[in-house]
Amino acid sequence: MAGNVKPFECKKPCNNCPYRKDAPLQHWDKFEYEKLLKQENDYFGSVYGCHKNNGSTCIGWLMKQNENNFPSIALRLSLSTNKVSREYLDSLNSPSELYKDVHEMIKANYPEILKK
């Protein structure tokens, strides 16, 4: 399934996107949540791909990055390289409420990660 879509083509999170509050809990391996928490605190950061490995950026993650108005350097470089418009970012939407931040998402899935 890899490479079916462009990195910034999708406009809403997948039905089972871990950023969605209505998604199945613990859909990702615990390691993925640990990695996300570590990268969330890294100014350079990274660009999180969709867990379906279809070539898309994770739209739930992208919406949260856009919402915080301070995306990582890696995301800003990717947006620039891919010539992503403000209109595209403004068009992103989720049919379900998203977790307010990565900590809330991790607490719902693997709360023991936050106790380390």
Give CA separation, 77 vs 47, 52, 84, 99, in Å: 10, 23, 10, 25
Per residue in 68-113, pLDDT tens?
876 788 999 999 999 999 999 999 999 999 999 899 999 999 999 9
Residue pair 92/66 in contact by the 8 Å Cβ criterion: yes
* Model confidence pLDDT, tens digit, residues 17-71: 999 999 999 988 999 899 888 887 777 888 888 988 889 999 999 999 898 876 7
d(C-alpha 19, C-alpha 15), whole Å: 10
> Hunting for tokens 């301070």 — which residue is that?
70
- pTM for this predicted structure: 0.88
Residue 13 has pLDDT above 60, yes or no: yes
Domain edges within the chain: 30-115
**Residue 1 confidence class, pLDDT cut points 50, 70, 90:** very low
